[in-house]
Amino acid sequence: MTRELPGSFTFEGHRLAYTDYGAGDRVVVLTHGLMFTRRMHAPLARKLAADGYRVITLDLLGHGESDRPTESWRYSMPAFALQVLALLDLLEIDRAVVGGTSLGANVTLEVAVAAPERMHGMIIEMPVLDNAIVAGLLTFAPLLFAARFIPVGVAGVASVAGWVPHGNQWVDVVTDTLEQRPAAMAALLHGVLFGRIAPPKAVRRLITVPALVIGHQRDPIHPFGDADTLAADLPDAEFVQARSPVELRTDPQRLTGMITNFVRRRY
């Protein structure tokens, strides 16, 4: 059985949690979607680790087992990117393939802007660019409102989620997401929604880190057009169309094979 070691470290006064799968000097770092946790990438991490890679999944600030401060200024894509780089520094990893889903995809782009020399490649699933702004606001603005002005509702949902039995991968992912703290959730959503969502097009065109971009049809929060546009913007990108927004979660063999092949070629 592949080793799985939980760990944590302090970054700018706050605890960040991670899990370290496998071993070796071929490293992949994976980050999660907004309000999700590192648990969402456990199946992919285990598969890559079984193939001989070391995989680290990170709970970004405000998520999962990491600290959840209530100041909105602490939450932004560039700030999350610095957390990924701090993880690499902690574990004395010079370079890695860095990837993520949704929020994590955009964080990956920010890592490539801040420190491209630390990356062998990027795995970008469900990037959020201009085409997603309206759907994103319609989805997350009500959650921000609820967290600010109806905190008892958010706390009630979290309390109910805490009673759900754990043990199933995706039940655990969903309950992790529902277990929110109102003030921290409000700060997180405020910081993300009203900050820099992604590097602008002019900056994206200068990112030379090789990328695997995965796009989905029929997903308004992560429009196909954003993934397609990003793949066109990046000088060295491969584009893969998922069969559905949940293919990598419910029928992962095809996409996992493509991701594994991409990582293999980057090393």
For 15-29, how does the pLDDT look when each residue is reduced to its tens digit (9 = 90+)?
A: 999 999 999 999 999
Q: Tokens 């003030």 identify what position?
A: 183
Mean pLDDT along residues 214-223: 84
Give the range with max mean pLDDT: 138-152, 161-175, 197-211.
197-211
Average pLDDT, the chain: 91
Q: Tens of pLDDT along 31-90?
A: 999 999 999 999 999 999 999 999 999 999 999 999 999 999 999 999 999 999 999 999
The pLDDT-based confidence of 164 (bands split at 50, 70, 90) is low
Q: Answer whether residue 3 shows pLDDT above 80.
A: yes
Q: How confident is the model at residue 236 (pLDDT cuts 50, 70, 90)?
A: very high
What is the pLDDT averaged over residues 184-202? 94
pTM higher than 0.85 for the full model?
yes
DSSP H or E stretch at residue 27: strand 27-31
- Amino acid identity, position 219: D
- Rounded to 5°, the CA angle 108-142-71 comes to 60
How many Å apart are CA 185 and CA 191, to the nearest integer? 10
Q: Please, what sign has the CA dihedral across residues 163, 192, 131, 244?
A: negative
Q: How far from 47 is each of 41, 55, 105, 109, 252, CA to CA, in Å?
A: 10, 10, 20, 24, 10
